[in-house]
Amino acid sequence: DSAEKAQEAGRLLEQSRKEQSYQDAQALMDERDYSAAAEAFAALGDYSDSAAKAKEARRMQQMEADYQAAQALLDAKDYSGAAKAFESLGDYGNSAEKAQTAQALLDVRNARAELANRAYDSILEPYWGVVPARSCITDINEDGIPELILVTDKAVSIEYDGSIIDSRRYAYSVYTYGDNGVEALITERVTPLSPASGCWITIGVGHVDGMPRLVAMYKGETTGNFFGDSDYEAGIDVQA
């Protein structure tokens, strides 16, 4: 009898220990420490529904990771990506609300981008058909709002052979669209290059050390090694 009683006492003690461990694991689950909860439930083996709880904890751990990834997209202002990511989470936490917020911010940004394009068209209208003028509308800093890069020729006075003479040089302007409409980031910054017959400018955007850099290439179509010559190229020192 004593042996049976001792055995029963040991069984009850083990049952109590497992139940306490189960409750501790559930507390971790309630605190959303899903990684620790999954390990704690898995350690309980086949006790009660521990196996199912461990599986659920791992699922919730993945959901939380996906939620944090979606939040990172929202913080980075990738509203389109964030909206899709939160939508895929269904009713997890406040994902539905976050998806609506991301979509609303995307709609606002898209509307502003459309206003920007219309405003830039108004700026460019006087230059339509003007051969020396070149323009490029592109999202330089990848924030969803395009910028306008405009390259034109400008009358300047330069020193040449000890004298001041009138000349023309390419100049560039960069515009963005902010809360108050069009804003000039750079206005008619003069470059060393002069407009030349048979040459044209191509404008683009690159990145140097992670920062946006405008690139304007000046290229000729005839022969030789100077302005207007075959394969002649010169970079305009353009930064914004």
Count of C-beta atoms within a 10 Å radius of residue 196: 15
pLDDT digits (tens, 9 = 90+) for 30-49: 998 999 999 999 999 999 99
pLDDT digits (tens, 9 = 90+) for 116-152: 999 999 999 998 877 667 888 988 878 899 999 888 8
Q: Is 23 exposed, middle or buried (0-12, 13-18, 19+ CB in 10 A)?
A: exposed
Q: Compute the distance between CA of residue 85 and CA of residue 66 in angstroms, rounded to an integer.
A: 8
| Local confidence band at 234 (pLDDT 50, 70, 90 cut-offs) | very low
- Asked whether residue 232 carries a pLDDT value surpassing 90, the answer given is no
Give, as one character, the DSSP assignment of residue 127: G
Kindly give the residue spans of alpha helices, DSSP state H, lying in 31-49.
34-43
Range of lowest pLDDT (60-64, 93-97, 130-134, 153-157): 130-134
Range of lowest pLDDT (16-20, 70-74, 81-85): 16-20
Fill in the amino acid letter for 157: S
Fill in the amino acid letter for 125: E
Q: Compute the distance between CA of residue 26 and CA of residue 33 in angstroms, rounded to an integer.
A: 10
Is residue 104 within a helix (H) or strand (E), and if so which, with residue range?
helix 95-124
Q: Give me the long-range contacts of 2-6 (CB less than 8 A, separation at least 24).
A: none
CB 54 within 8 Å of CB 38: yes
> Which pLDDT score is estimated for 120?
96
Q: Compute the distance between CA of residue 136 and CA of residue 154 in angstroms, rounded to an integer.
A: 18
> Which pLDDT score is estimated for 210?
60
Range of lowest pLDDT (112-121, 160-169, 229-238): 229-238
> Which pLDDT score is estimated for 229?
40
pLDDT digits (tens, 9 = 90+) for 194-216: 776 556 666 666 665 666 555 55
Q: How many residues does the chain have?
A: 240
| Local confidence band at 222 (pLDDT 50, 70, 90 cut-offs) | very low
pTM for the model stands at 0.67
Q: Compute the distance between CA of residue 45 and CA of residue 40 in angstroms, rounded to an integer.
A: 9
Strand partners, 173: 150
Fill in the amino acid letter for 148: L
- Asked whether residue 15 carries a pLDDT value surpassing 70, the answer given is yes
